[in-house]
Amino acid sequence: MRIIPVALIPGDGIGPEVVAEAQRVLDQVARMSGRFRFQYRSFDWSCQYYLAHGKMMPDDGLKILQDFEAIFLGAVGFPPVPDHVSLWGLLLPIRREFDQYVNLRPVKLLRGIESPLREVAPGEIDFIVIRENTEGEYSNSGGRLRQGTPQEVVVQNAVFTRYGTERVIRYAFERAVHSRQHVTSATKSNGLNFSMPFWDEVFRSVGQAYPQVKQELYHIDALAAYFVTRPKSFDVVVASNLFGDILTDLGGAITGGIGIAPSANINPEKRYPSMFEPVHGSAPDIAGRGIANPIGQIWTGALMLEHFGLMAEAELLIDAIEATLLDGVKTPDLGGRHTTRDVTDHIIQRLTAWE
């Protein structure tokens, strides 16, 4: 049996509530599978930790995490700690230092979820967005001169490297090879006349090695519209950091919203641990009330299973989530009246019934 060391960072707000529930589900999947076991160590790095120690994690935090194969994170951020402190003190250092250059988000309409789009049925939206996660428009390069004066000058640079662009695009093609052989790239080569023609060149050049894969390029504005008008037509979508950020939120919105959306920050070479976290934050408005939707965190657990090649286990878990939604066991954000615990219990019950 494979033992996989996983660092848990439950974080703030509803983070600890949903991480504990996801652990219960993953333990049940592990029992049923018999092929693996997650060996957890939990870290209390959070805004609470910050208030006590003046930092989000200890100075050797990254060094400690390096010994794990994955990081399973809830959410960080809670008043009165400013959001940029929690983000730059924990999440961003992990993503950058561990070279998690792929941010992956499934855009999949689960059975039992109604899309705000009138004409799609469950199963009809099923693709993934791959967002470049380390450079591009979010490169921390630029500056402000003569601040606050009428002569103020502001520059924000986007930085694209051939290395960084090639590797994320190649990752998208590799995913497509194991999926429906179709990659769509987000561009804007008319307006951004240096970075995006370069992105397109790299896309075409990497694509030459994948003649069997259908390759399409759309300007980001048109692509955003297609997410709404014909979401059924995508398989793998690859985008720069900023474009991917926007597309993934849109993808979440057409498939049921923030309470269920999962995400992964991946270092494909597995040289560093990858980090798995739901899309949502710490939801201070509902924290402590037992009504947070645990599905975002649980589905994130399925992405972690996939990362370790445990495909059948991941599929089983998603089936149990869908069955639960179809049974109408839902938290208030999905229009239901069940608690966090009810939903988890039902998912586990569904799994057990198939044992």
Binding to ligand NAI (CB under 6 A) within 261-320 occurs at 277, 280-286, 292-293, 296
Binding to ligand NAI (CB under 6 A) within 81-120 occurs at 83, 91
Helices (H), the chain: 15-33, 47-53, 61-65, 83-86, 92-97, 162-177, 195-207, 220-229, 241-253, 295-307, 311-326, 340-353
The smaller minimum CB distance to ligand NAI, of residues 133 and 331, is found at: 331
Q: Which two tokens stand for residue 210?
A: 């994948």
Q: State the helix-helix crossing angle for 311-326 and 15-33, rounded to 10 degrees.
A: 120
Query: Among ligand NAI, Mg ion, none, what binds residue 89 when CB lies within 5 to 8 Å by partner kind?
Result: none
| 25 binding ligand NAI? (CB under 6 A) | no
Residue 151, exposed/middle/buried by CB under 10 A (0-12, 13-18, 19+)?
exposed
Cis upstream peptide for 5 (omega within 30°): no
| 17 binding ligand NAI? (CB under 6 A) | no
Binding to Mg ion (CB under 5 A) within 234-253 occurs at 245
- Non-local (6+) Cβ contacts of 327 within 8 A are 112, 346, 350
| 252 binding ligand NAI? (CB under 6 A) | no
Query: Among Mg ion, ligand NAI, none, what binds residue 58 when CB lies within 5 to 8 Å by partner kind?
Result: none
Give the binding range for ligand NAI (CB under 6 A) out of 74-82, 164-172, 218-226, 347-355: 74-82
The smaller minimum CB distance to ligand NAI, of residues 5 and 288, is found at: 288
Q: What is the dihedral of CA 340, 343, 349, 353, to 10 degrees?
A: -160
- Could you identify the residue written with the tokens 């694509």? 207
Query: Among Mg ion, ligand NAI, none, what binds residue 245 when CB lies within 5 to 8 Å by partner kind?
Result: Mg ion
User: What's the closest the beta carbon of residue 116 comes to ligand NAI, in angstroms?
Assistant: 15
DSSP-assigned letter for residue 235:
S
Please give the residue ranges that form the binding site for ligand NAI (CB under 6 A).
14, 75-78, 83, 91, 258-259, 277, 280-286, 292-293, 296, 331, 333
